């Protein structure tokens, strides 16, 4: 790689110094880890403040301070405990399940015990792909807030191919449905990319508008052309041949999509860091003026990056449809857009980082349902924690200020630009 | 670091583009005939009500009755004529041209939609103004903070939070004005956080704004789920009543459109005027714009750049807070999850369309408001177009506007970049 075109690219500074690799890695991981920790601490405060028992206990704090603290601890530990259980299950249960399986050959207890963890992995799958989508945008200096719309459109197109074609063998039908999802998302992402390149319309606003358009479009499709017979606005169930095979019997939904997502992450790494186009995309992201001087076509790179970004988001939608739900309903893509932004930021836009961040996020989301059920904490607490994590990851200075850490190296990564400049 | 793409793509009025746009216009004119002019029974008339029904304040004037088919043909001819003129002589002002053609299309559509029945035109114009109010307030927030070079994309989140706090306080105290105050203070508080993050900690402005949106949406939904949906005492405030301004309301057409609204609409109009004057005719405004265009020069002349930015962002937050309050205590009296539905972002588009000028922002907000009210009207008239497509209209308009205009507007030069004092 030649060094002169990407002066501000963090990867270059990272790979250039061989010495102190370990401490640099630690430093890279430290801020995101502390950001997540801080997010959870503030989340805990919110949980405590919104708990009636805690508020009552604090009313007579001066008579029984111990009771107030105990109530606080109870509220937080129940909420986060059920979150953790919902995400990973419990080790003793898995152990007992395994024992009974090896003793009697009855797998029921084991499957039940590993259900939370496999469910988390199933939830992680679309997050990996959607997080990669946003990360690719960031690498080109584009802020794709439209992952949600691209996800939804990808889900619809893959479902359409999944249910409307009959009689194909799985090795044709499944890839076809996945590709259809990617193509749908790619189309939805390419439009803002083209607009950005040709007219300078800022992708943040256009992708958000594309999201709203996709909601209306999918509402129309689900109530009209793609509606399955019946009352509810759902698509028909996709053909068996188009489903991603599952590893375990129902109700466990962990499937091959996870492997596909990991493979795609590796592919994206290869594309971004080992190919010329990937290099160009990163160069345009790091310094568009420099890239233009070097003879790169900025518009082309914007369009490629947004199309790829959209395709990844569409693939995420496809993996959710073909692997988990097998049909599309209303509000299918809700939340994936902002979740994937958080994942890309947390993963520092690096494919490996994205996979790790998606793992964290997916397990959280998967456990949050059980937290809402057991502890009565609304699921939106996750959004609050998530927004805080984004702030802290984007503002390492805040984290350093809170925890009194000195900065080892200063890096400035320009992620976005002003309006159409 | 800027890409300067827009400058490269700025359209110049070369003979070739003139030729192309002229032909496009003629085709557009023919399209009007094809879209709206076919299959019309010759005798059909479109009636547009100019006096609100059952409104005793207004001096009644007769309805506007147009014969449908000739009206559509005339509008199509106007478009074709404009195209021909463009081919022959060239029209200097592109904006005027686009505006005229857009008007022809909208008018033709309205005539077609109102064919054989009556459409309350004045009511629709009033709905446009009312629907434009939160958009204009969001746009105004954008203008105030971006003139000082701070991009605030978190307006949506600010509006959600202040919509919630205003309805809560108004319901608790049974005082709508206190609710409005709560909304504005919430906006101020959140904007101050954004300002600290981007000015003090130099967080990427867009990312900080997105985080504000996520936290705003998350926190307001959390509180809504946890408290507001359970108890009605926190979520039932009533709304500001309509105040007819004596005398002025009697003016035909203008009266019922402008002078018979609730206090928030008037406040919005006053704020637009005040912001315009302050921004362009006071020392404060000059300093704000200096900080937005060339902070270093402003700093050299002794202007406190950070201070100007803080104050502008916080003032903008108060305006956005008012816009948020509109959603609850200005229109429905209760808070529902994610009720702003992208109006904050549409406000940003209105700000860009309005060229970072308060009056322009109001004008473009009115266009979005009109698209919105048109959509509602079409649903009521049960036009044979799926409602979902009508719901897309404001968002598509936003994209078209952004794509068509960004290259031709003047962004504050330092917009979105942090200032590092040496």
CA distance B247 to chain A (A): 42
| Residues 288 through 307 of chain A touching chain B, CB cutoff 8 Å | 288-289, 292, 298-299
Nearest-neighbour CA in chain B from A262: distance (Å): 27
- Give Cα separations from B159 to A165, A171, B155, B174 (angstroms): 46, 49, 6, 21
Which residues numbered 378-417 in B keep a CB inside 8 Å of some CB on A? 386, 388-389, 391-392, 395-396, 398-399, 402-404, 406-407, 411, 415-417
State both tokens at A227.
């509606």
Q: What are B93's two structure tokens? A: 């002002």
Residue A412 backbone dihedrals phi, psi, to 5 degrees? -120, 115
SS3 content of chain A, % helix, strand, coil (to 5): 75, 0, 25
Tell the burial category of A4 from Cβ atoms under 10 Å away from its Cβ (0-12, 13-18, 19+).
exposed
The phi, psi pair for A42, rounded to 5°, reads: -65, -40
Cα–Cα distance for residue pair A384/A38, rounded to 1 Å: 12
Sequence-distant (6+) residues with CB within 8 A of B79 are B25, B26, B28, B29, B32, B101, B104, B105
Checking if the pLDDT of B119 tops 80, the result is: no
Choose the closest CB to B388 out of A196, A206, A219: A219
The stretch B268-286 carries a mean pLDDT of 93
Give A299's contacts in chain B (Cβ within 8 Å): 5
Confirm if B117 and B173 have CB atoms less than 8 A apart: no
Tens digit of each residue's pLDDT (9 = 90 or more) over B213-241: 888 988 898 888 888 888 777 888 888 88
Q: How far does chain A reach from its first CA to its final CA, in angstroms? A: 28
Share of chain B above pLDDT 90, in %: 26
Q: What contacts A252, CB < 8 A, 6 or more positions away?
A: A111, A114, A115, A118, A119, A246
Question: Mutation test of the interface with chain A: which of B2, B3, B155, choosing the one with the most A Cβ atoms within 10 A?
Answer: B3
Spatial separation of the C-alpha atoms in residues B328 and B270, rounded to whole Å: 20
Nearest CA in chain A to B387: A220
Neighbours of B198 (CB within 10 A): 26
Full DSSP string of B76-91: HHHHHHHHHHHHHT--
Check residue B155 and give its pLDDT: 93
Q: Are A121 and A366 spatial neighbours (Cβ–Cβ below 8 Å)?
A: no
For the purposes of burial, counting CB atoms within 10 Å of the CB of B382, is it exposed (0-12), middle (13-18) or buried (19 or more)? exposed
Q: Which of A40, A24, A14 is nearest to A360 (CA)?
A: A40
Q: Average pLDDT, stretch B364-387? A: 80
Output the CA–CA distances (angstroms, integers) from residue B285 to A28, B104, B271, B302, in the order listed.
43, 38, 14, 15
Mean pLDDT, all residues of chain B: 82
Q: Which residues of A touch B216 (CB under 8 A)?
A: 387
* Strand B64-67, strand B260-262: pairing: unpaired
Are the beta carbons of B217 and A46 separated by less than 8 Å?
Answer: no
- CATH 1.10.3470 domain locations along chain B: 122-408
CA distance A105 to A223: 47
What's the rounded Cα separation, in Å, for the pair A330 and B350?
A: 29
CB atoms within 10 A of CB B361: 30
- The CA distance from B277 to B285, in Å, is 8
Which residue(s) pair with B46 in the sheet?
B66, B115
Residue B163 forms contact with A (CB below 8 Å) = no
Residue B55 has pLDDT above 70, yes or no: no
Angstroms from A160 CA to nearest CA on chain B = 20
Residues 212-231 of A with CB under 8 A from B: 212-213, 216-217, 219-220, 223-224
Strand partners, B242: B262
Q: Taking CB atoms and an 8 Å cut-off, how many pairs form between chains A and B?
A: 195
Contact B58, B255 (CB under 8 A): yes
Q: What is the pLDDT of residues A260-288, one digit of tens each?
A: 999 999 999 999 999 999 999 999 888 88
Question: What tokens appear for B397 in the block?
Answer: 């308009």
pLDDT in tens, chain A (421 residues): 333 433 444 444 444 444 455 666 777 778 888 888 888 899 888 888 887 778 887 777 777 778 888 888 888 888 888 888 888 888 888 888 888 888 887 777 888 888 888 888 998 999 999 999 999 999 998 888 889 999 999 999 999 999 988 888 888 899 999 999 999 999 999 999 998 888 878 787 788 889 889 988 998 998 888 888 888 888 888 888 888 888 888 788 888 989 999 999 999 999 999 999 999 999 988 888 888 888 888 889 999 999 999 999 999 999 999 988 888 888 777 778 878 888 888 888 899 989 998 998 888 888 888 888 888 888 888 888 888 888 888 777 778 888 877 765 544 454 555 554 4
Going by pLDDT thresholds of 50, 70 and 90, the confidence category of residue B318 is: very high
Cα separation, A337 vs A211, whole angstroms: 9
pLDDT band at B267 (very low <50, low <70, confident <90, very high): very high
Question: A402-411: long-range contacts (C-beta < 8 A, 24 or more apart)?
Answer: A402/A34, A402/A38, A403/A34, A405/A30, A405/A34, A408/A23, A408/A24, A408/A27, A409/A13, A409/A24, A409/A27, A411/A8, A411/A10, A411/A13
CB contact under 8 Å between B203 and A388, yes or no, is no
Residue numbers in A near B202 (CB within 8 A): 395, 397
Task: Determine, for residues A205 and B349 on separate chains, whether the beta-carbon distance falls below 8 Å.
Answer: yes
Q: Which CATH number fits domain B122-408: 1.10.3470, 1.10.260, 3.40.50, 1.20.1630?
A: 1.10.3470
Question: Residue written as tokens 């007769």?
Answer: B62
Does B230 contact A at CB distance below 8 Å?
no
Cα separation, A349 vs B340, in Å, equals 30
| Residue A214 DSSP class | H
Q: Say which of B225, B352, B395 has its CB closest to residue A378.
A: B225
A131: closest CA of chain B, how far (Å): 15
CA distance B17 to B23: 10
- Strand (E) or helix (H) holding B66: strand B64-67
Rounded Cα–Cα distance for residues A256 and A265 (Å) = 14
For residue B2, the number of C-alpha atoms closer than 13 Å in the C-beta half-sphere is 17
- At residue B232's C-alpha, the angle toward residues B230 and B236, to 5°, is 140
Model confidence over B145-203: pLDDT tens digits? 999 989 888 999 999 999 999 999 998 888 889 999 999 999 999 999 999 988 888 88
Q: pLDDT higher for B249 or B198?
A: B198
Which run of H or of E encompasses A158?
helix A147-164
**Phi-psi map region of A378: left, alpha, beta (phi>0 left; psi -120 to 50 alpha):** beta
In percent, how much of chain B has pLDDT > 70?
A: 90
pLDDT score at A8: 42
Most confident by average pLDDT, B24-33, B212-221, B371-380, B388-397: B212-221
Beta pairing, strands B64-67 & B45-49: antiparallel
Chain A interface test: which of B199, B204, B350 (most A C-beta within 10 Å) = B204
- Please judge whether A210 and B399 are an interchain contact, meaning their C-beta atoms are less than 8 angstroms apart: yes
Please answer yes or no on whether A199 and B1 come within 8 Å at the CB atom: no
A199-209 pLDDT, tens per residue?
Answer: 878 787 788 88
- How many Å apart are CA B210 and CA B201, to the nearest integer? 16
pLDDT in tens, B332-352: 888 888 888 888 888 988 888
| CB < 8 Å from B in window 73-132 of A | none
Q: Tell me the C-alpha distance between A348 and A138, whole Å.
A: 9
Question: Contact B163/B339 with Cβ under 8 angstroms?
Answer: yes
Cis, peptide link before residue B274, omega less than 30° from 0: no
Domain borders along chain A are 123-364
User: Any idea what DSSP says for residue B63?
Assistant: P
The dihedrals phi and psi of B279, each to the nearest 5 degrees, come to -70, -35
- The C-alpha atoms of residue A117 and residue A115 are separated, in whole angstroms, by 6
In the beta sheet, which residues pair with residue B67? B45
């Amino acid at each position: 790689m030649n060094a002169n075109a990407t002066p501000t690219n963090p990867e270059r500074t990272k790979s250039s110094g061989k010495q102190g690799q370990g401490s640099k890695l630690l430093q890279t991981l430290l801020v995101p880890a502390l950001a997540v920790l801080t997010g959870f601490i503030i989340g805990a405060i919110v949980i405590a403040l919104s708990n009636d028992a805690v508020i009552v206990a604090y009313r007579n704090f001066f008579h029984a301070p111990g009771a107030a603290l105990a109530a606080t601890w109870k509220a937080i530990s129940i909420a986060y405990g059920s979150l953790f259980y919902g995400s990973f299950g419990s080790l003793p249960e898995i152990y007992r399940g395994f024992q009974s399986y090896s003793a009697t050959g009855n797998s029921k207890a084991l499957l039940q015990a590993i259900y939370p963890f496999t469910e988390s992995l199933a939830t992680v799958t679309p997050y990996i792909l959607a997080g990669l989508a946003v990360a690719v945008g960031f690498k080109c200096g584009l802020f794709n807030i439209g992952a949600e719309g691209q996800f939804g459109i990808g889900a619809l197109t893959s479902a359409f191919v999944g249910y409307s074609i009959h009689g194909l063998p799985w090795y044709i039908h499944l890839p076809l449905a996945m590709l259809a999802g990617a193509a749908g998302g790619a189309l939805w992402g390419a439009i803002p990319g083209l607009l950005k390149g040709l007219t300078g319309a800022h992708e943040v606003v256009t992708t958000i508008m594309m999201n709203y358009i996709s909601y209306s479009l999918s509402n129309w499709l689900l109530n009209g052309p793609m509606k399955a017979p019946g009352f509810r606005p759902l698509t028909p169930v996709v053909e068996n041949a188009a489903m991603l095979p599952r590893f375990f019997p129902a109700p466990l939904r962990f499937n091959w999509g996870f492997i596909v997502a990991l493979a795609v992450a590796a592919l994206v790494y290869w594309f971004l860091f080992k190919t010329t186009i990937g290099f160009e995309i990163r160069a345009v992201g790091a310094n568009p003026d420099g890239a233009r001087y070097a003879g790169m076509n900025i518009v082309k790179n914007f369009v490629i990056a947004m199309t790829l970004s959209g395709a990844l988001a569409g693939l995420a939608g496809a993996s959710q449809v073909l692997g988990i739900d097998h049909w599309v309903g209303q509000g299918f893509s809700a939340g994936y857009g902002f979740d994937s932004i958080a994942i890309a930021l947390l993963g520092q836009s690096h494919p490996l980082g994205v996979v790790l961040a998606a793992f964290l996020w997916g397990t959280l989301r998967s456990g949050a349902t059980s937290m809402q059920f057991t502890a009565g904490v609304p699921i939106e607490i996750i959004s609050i924690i998530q927004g805080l994590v984004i702030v802290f990851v984007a503002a390492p200075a805040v984290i350093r200020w809170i925890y009194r850490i000195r900065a080892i190296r200063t890096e400035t990564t320009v992620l976005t630009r002003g309006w159409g400049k | 670091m800027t890409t300067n793409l827009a400058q490269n793509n700025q359209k110049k009025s070369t003979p070739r583009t003139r030729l192309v746009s002229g032909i496009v216009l003629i085709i557009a004119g023919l399209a009007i005939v094809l879209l709206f002019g076919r299959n019309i029974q010759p005798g059909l008339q479109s009636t547009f009500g100019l006096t609100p029904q059952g409104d005793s304040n207004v001096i009644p004037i007769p309805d506007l009755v147009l014969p449908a088919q000739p009206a559509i043909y005339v509008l199509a001819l106007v478009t074709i004529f404009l195209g021909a003129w463009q081919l022959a002589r060239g029209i200097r002002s592109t904006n005027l041209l686009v505006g005229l053609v857009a008007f022809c299309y909208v008018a033709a559509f309205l005539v077609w939609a109102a064919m054989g029945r009556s459409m309350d035109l004045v009511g629709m114009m009033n709905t446009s103004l009312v629907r434009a109010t939160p958009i204009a307030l969001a746009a105004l927030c954008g203008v105030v903070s971006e003139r000082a070079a701070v991009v605030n994309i978190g307006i949506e989140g600010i509006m959600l939070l202040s919509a919630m706090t205003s309805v809560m306080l108004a319901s608790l105290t049974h005082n709508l004005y206190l609710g409005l105050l709560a909304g504005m203070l919430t906006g101020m508080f959140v904007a101050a956080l954004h300002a600290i993050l981007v000015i003090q900690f130099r967080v990427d402005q867009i990312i900080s704004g997105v985080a504000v949106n996520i936290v705003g949406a998350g926190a307001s939904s959390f509180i809504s789920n946890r408290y507001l949906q359970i108890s009605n005492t926190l979520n039932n405030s009533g709304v500001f009543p309509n105040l007819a301004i004596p005398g002025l309301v009697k003016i035909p057409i203008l009266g019922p459109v402008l002078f018979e609204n609730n206090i928030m609409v008037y406040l919005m109009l006053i704020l637009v005027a005040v912001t315009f004057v302050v921004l362009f005719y006071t020392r404060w405004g000059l300093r704000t714009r200096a900080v937005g265009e060339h902070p270093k020069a402003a700093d050299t002349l002794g202007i406190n750049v950070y201070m100007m930015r803080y104050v502008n962002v916080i003032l903008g937050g108060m305006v956005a807070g008012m816009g948020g309050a509109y959603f609850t205590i200005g229109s429905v009296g209760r808070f529902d999850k994610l009720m702003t539905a992208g109006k904050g972002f549409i406000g940003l588009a209105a700000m860009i369309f309005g060229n970072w000028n308060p009056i322009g922002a109001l004008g473009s907000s009115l266009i979005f408001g009109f698209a919105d009210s048109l959509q509602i009207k079409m649903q009521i008239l049960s036009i044979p177009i799926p409602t979902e497509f009508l719901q897309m209209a404001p968002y598509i308009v936003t994209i078209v506007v952004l794509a068509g205009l960004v290259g031709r507007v003047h962004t504050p030069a330092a917009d979105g970049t942090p200032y590092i004092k040496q």
